[in-house]
Amino acid sequence: MARMKFLCDAERCIECNGCVTACKNENEVPWGVNRRRVITINDGKPGERSLSVACMHCSDAPCMAVCPVDCFYQTADGIVLHNKDMCIGCGYCFYACPFGAPQFPRNGAFGTRGKMDKCTFCAGGPEPDGSQEEFSKYGRNRIAEGKLPICAEMCSTKALLAGDGEEVANIYRERVIMRGFGSGAWGWGRAYPGQNPG
């Protein structure tokens, strides 16, 4: 059985935000809600690194563990999804998530949080696959169409990989072999501080 995973290669990510707009365009994510974000650290300084971050679809997902109404579920492929009809917008998953993935639209006059929204690995929600209702609540269901998440498919430098963890690992392993030496996803600088792969 496939186990769906993302991997973002910091040697490759250039913060072009292609993944961000691809996600918005495909899933019609409203202004202000960001299922995917590119984070840059040491901005403008040597050691600058960018990484694209969304829900990581944890195997033992903390959001699922803490949800008071138990609105989360995990697909057989390991994708963590939730049911917006059940969600009460309490934000407890936001506390629990190690990645800041849950998003809360502001659609009320007093800043009420609304239903939680997050990356679905382009796998929709509990409604029938490809239905209008699923689309309007969760966005596209590319997985049901036999496609992978749009963010990774459109990544400009192929930094962001998505799919069955085993396949992702194989692609990444091949890449590491091609590089010739051991820079991990976090980059050479992390493995051997102060050195550049020359």
Binding residues for other proteins, rule: CB under 8 A, are: 11-12, 14-22, 24-26, 28-34, 37, 40, 43-46, 48-50, 105-107, 130-132, 135-136, 140, 147, 150, 153-158, 175, 178-180, 196-198
Alpha helix ranges (H) inside 31-70: 62-66
Contact yes or no for 103/118 (Cβ under 8 A)? yes
**22 burial level (CB within 10 Å; 0-12, 13-18, 19+):** buried
Q: How far apart are CB 16 and other proteins at their closest, in Å?
A: 4
Per DSSP, 35 falls in state S
> Which of 40, 170 has the CB closer to other proteins?
40
Q: How far apart are CB 1 and other proteins at their closest, in Å?
A: 26
In 65-115, where do the E strands start and end? 72-74, 80-82
> Which of 46, 68 has the CB closer to other proteins?
46
Q: How far apart are CB 154 and other proteins at their closest, in Å?
A: 5
Q: How far apart are CB 108 and other proteins at their closest, in Å?
A: 8
Distances (CA, A) of 174 to 12, 167, 168, 178, 186: 15, 11, 10, 6, 16
Q: How far apart are CB 70 and other proteins at their closest, in Å?
A: 25
> Which of 78, 121 has the CB closer to other proteins?
121
Structure tokens at 123: 């796998």
> Which of 107, 170 has the CB closer to other proteins?
107
76 bridge partner residues: none
> Which of 3, 37 has the CB closer to other proteins?
37
What is the rounded distance in angstroms from the CA atom of residue 39 to the CA atom of residue 90? 26
